[in-house]
Structure 1
Amino acid sequence: MKAWFAPAKLNLTLRVGPPQMDGRHPLDSLVCFTRRLGDHLFVEAAPDLQLEISGPFGKGLSAGPDNLVCRAAQILADASVLPPKANIRLVKNLPIASGIGGGSADAAAVMHALNDFWELKLPLANLVALGAQLGADVPACLTGQPVHMTGTGETLAHTGPLAAMGVVLVNPGVACPTGPVYRAYDALGAGPALDVQSVPNVSDRESLLAYLREVPNDLEKAAIRLVPEIAEAMASLAASPNVRFVRMSGSGATCFALYDDEETAQAGKNFVLKGLANRGFWVEADHI
């Protein structure tokens, strides 16, 4: 049975404009993906649409029609005028409500999987247009490549190669749902209208790091107010040896640190694990 990979999404930068009339926020974000850390998804024949969820973060998740995976499958079936028939097995390895696009990545993975399984042969552009109905992160997750995300997530520009770096992800084990973070951001006084600029060449480490230092994650302050443990995660990463950059991803609560290579990132992971021992924090290393 073919496996489909749903990698963790990292918002390396995230500018957020004031809400529009429809309540959605304009975004300006450089997005990339992990290489190994992620959920896995399998599809097989079934008489109707079924979802089975397992894995370390699968407990308590709804497998009903409200799950983003089921919604993605239904949207794809409706657009193709097909009855949604498939058994989907989702292995949840990523924390939920954590700012690394787990649900969005799963939705993107099932759209790719069913496009193949149902032999629809829809081009990526069609999948992206459908995915935009599900959430701001789904279009970027469908590409699976570094992109500059603008609009409300639906406008994507490929950045070209991104500098390879080691990364450590830390989640404090506290859910940080997107909606409350955006509401807290608005309450703090949403920033001015976005002045979107194209992403420069970030194919080497120093250029990438310089760009990240210049462009913030606007949601950090609001998220930390709701989940103070985010600040602790960032402080632990910042204290790790040979760290190059630390930031929160998306709306939180997952934070990440960048290192020159994966070996250095692994040392950073060990340092953070030692400092946060028995605290229930999720800590993993990978590369981008």
Structure 2
Amino acid sequence: MEEIKILSFAKINLSIDVTGITEDGMHAVDMIMHQISFHDDVNVRFLPDQAKPKGNVDIKVSTNRYYLPVDERNLAYKAAALISSLYADKVPGGRVEIEIFKRIPVAAGLAGGSGNGAAVLHGLNQLWKLGLSLSELCSLGARLGSDVPFCVMGQAGYNFCLPKSIRKDKMAVSCARATGTGTELTPLKGVKQSLVIAKPPMGVSTAEVYREIDSCKIKERPDNDALAKGIMDRNFALIYDNCINVLENYTLRAYPEVKKLKELLSQNAEAEKVLMSGSGPTVFGIFKSISDAKNACEMLRKRRYEAYWTKTTK
């Protein structure tokens, strides 16, 4: 049996703008994402079986969250199925076992599931010695979901079990600007920030938010050129001025619980910026110090919110 453990990091959106509709009917976006240190653990095992022909691979997924699907609805399962089918001539027969220890809240706008799928791509690339480059892994990720390529990039620089060729790739970064459907990525140098992430006890449908955002009047949009410049120059005033998520225009109106959480966190005098991540319902606050973030986290927990203090990966 061969095994590898991949840290599957969450992400936050420092900005999201919806810029139109692509030819295939998807929403075009312009956004900046940043990886954070909060993570799931994904253990990937391969048990070869000489009685099975090449490419004949069974897949088993398990998790500590009983309510999560462990079949083809799970992105980790889909990732294993995709890579084993595409490289069947190089993959020995056997069984893939994927064990996911979840910490990242589910359906929360933090790319938890996307990260798990990315982790499986990294893991099987190593266990099967496929030799795929980071660019090739990102291309595979794009077939699984719009957030997966970014997760592939971010994990590459922070999993030291991966080969140097992956870890030192110019795309192995923790921050990127995403355009198109979110899969066209431009690397940026990450910034060190202390954070609180929190969510109300409910979920938000990403499909619903993107479907309804077209009918919303967008009051303010991020200047992602300015935001990218602020990140590269470490100009935090410029960064905070352009941390804008246009999806808030729908989610905060349709889901009062999310609006209430954002307002509560915004009342904290130590918060530099408060923003919704993705389509929600998670809200995050940026703080000057980890002690301030811990204090805010404790306040939210006392009010029965699921909350965590963390930091960006840099």
After TM superposition, the score normalised by the length of structure 2 is 0.82
Q: Tell me which residue corresponds to 1:22.
A: 24
Q: Are 1:98 and 1:177, in contact at CA under 8 Å, matched by a contact in 2?
A: no
Selected match of 1:79 from 86, 111, 120? 86
- Where 2:279 maps in the other structure, the secondary structure is coil
Letter in 2 for 1:239: Q
CA RMSD in angstroms, aligned pairs only: 2.3
Q: Tell me which residue corresponds to 1:128.
A: 138
Q: Tell me which residue corresponds to 1:175.
A: 203
Distance 1:89 1:212, change over 3 A: same
- Where 2:20 maps in the other structure, the secondary structure is coil
Displacement of 1:215? 4.7
Point out 4+ residue stretches in structure 1 off by more than 3 angstroms.
Answer: 82-85, 189-198
- Where 1:40 maps in the other structure, the secondary structure is strand
Q: Are 1:16 and 1:194, in contact at CA under 8 Å, matched by a contact in 2?
A: no
Task: Tell me how far apart the structure 2 counterparts of residues 97 and 269 of structure 1 sit (CA, whole Å).
Answer: 20
Deviation string 1:137-196 (CA, Å, 9 cap, x unpaired) is: 111111111111111112111112x33111000111211121011011123267999997
Deviation string 1:193-243 (CA, Å, 9 cap, x unpaired) is: 9997372141566x2342332352010121123322111111121122411
Selected match of 1:96 from 96, 100, 106? 106
Q: Are 1:11 and 1:250, in contact at CA under 8 Å, matched by a contact in 2?
A: yes
Number of aligned positions between the proteins: 278
Q: Are 1:247 and 1:256, in contact at CA under 8 Å, matched by a contact in 2?
A: yes
Asked if 1:283 corresponds to 2:293, the answer is no
Deviation string 1:71-114 (CA, Å, 9 cap, x unpaired) is: 11111112222357310001121111110111111111111111
Distance 1:212 1:13, change over 3 A: farther
Matches within 5 A, 1:186-225: 186-188=214-216, 197=225, 199-203=228-232, 207-225=235-253
Q: Tell me which residue corresponds to 2:53.
A: none
Letter in 2 for 1:79: L
Give the strand-richer structure, 1 or 2: 2
Letter in 2 for 1:147: A
- Where 1:134 maps in the other structure, the secondary structure is coil
Task: Tell me how far apart the structure 2 counterparts of residues 192 and 261 of structure 1 sit (CA, whole Å).
Answer: 28
Q: Tell me which residue corresponds to 1:41.
A: 42
Distance 1:202 1:182, change over 3 A: same
- Where 1:17 maps in the other structure, the secondary structure is strand
Q: Are 1:18 and 1:190, in contact at CA under 8 Å, matched by a contact in 2?
A: no
Selected match of 1:252 from 254, 261, 280? 280
Q: Are 1:168 and 1:286, in contact at CA under 8 Å, matched by a contact in 2?
A: yes
Distance 1:255 1:15, change over 3 A: same
Distance 1:200 1:193, change over 3 A: closer
Consecutive unaligned residues of structure 1, counting only runs of 5 or more, are: none
Distance 1:163 1:119, change over 3 A: same
Identity among equivalent pairs (%)? 28
Distance 1:23 1:196, change over 3 A: farther
Letter in 1 for 2:310: D
Selected match of 1:264 from 285, 292, 307? 292
- After TM superposition, the structure 1 stretch with the greater mean CA deviation from structure 2, 17-26 or 185-194, is 185-194
After TM superposition, the score normalised by the length of structure 1 is 0.89
